[in-house]
Amino acid sequence: LKFECLSNDGVDDHMVWLIGLKNIFARQLPNMPKEYIVRLVMDRNHKSVMVIRRNLVVGGITYRPYASQKFGEIAFCAIKADEQVKGYGTRLMNHLKQHARDVDGLTHFLTYADNNAVGYFIKQGFTKEIYLDKDRWHGYIKDYDGGILMECKIDPKLPYTD
């Protein structure tokens, strides 16, 4: 089992994994247009952190780091149906936080959470209260009807992974 964070960089293995992740998102997020999922997963401004087991993608999170604003926007998050509620979603989020802090230099995440995923995000330290200065994110992330805006502060020192 491994966790990888990568973007569309033309490396063959990476492309295969990104397509696998795109297919998981398309199935697990049926309200999202498939073309929109493909566009963001393949967009070079977005990165994806993935759980990979025996060279197959089990799930992942696609996000866009805004380096100048020091926050990231989580676009999609999903684990394959038959692998949910085994702890992968939590481990994935911890790898994302570690990578976003140590590699991207981010301090916060924002996401529009689906109603049924709010409980998961709360367990990952997200809140419905937005403490981040609106100047820092307004105009960067798009308003989106189908979800609830949530925020997570990344701890500056905590080791999120072992």
User: Cα separation of 151 and 153, whole Å?
Assistant: 7
Catalytic (active site) residue 151 = no
Residue 80 burial (CB count, 10 A): 17
- Provide the token pair at 5: 């964070």
**Catalytic residue chosen out of the listed positions 73, 83, 129, 151:** 73
By the rule CB under 6 A, 62 interacts with ligand ACO: no
By the rule CB under 6 A, 127 interacts with ligand ACO: no
| Bridge partner residues of 87 (DSSP) | none
By the rule CB under 6 A, 71 interacts with ligand ACO: no
By the rule CB under 6 A, 3 interacts with ligand ACO: no
Q: Please work out, in degrees rounded to the nearest 5, the angle formed at the alpha carbon of residue 54 by the alpha carbons of 49 and 59.
A: 30
Catalytic residues: 73
Interface positions with ligand ACO (CB under 6 A): 28-29, 74, 76-79, 84-90, 111-114, 116-117, 119-120, 123
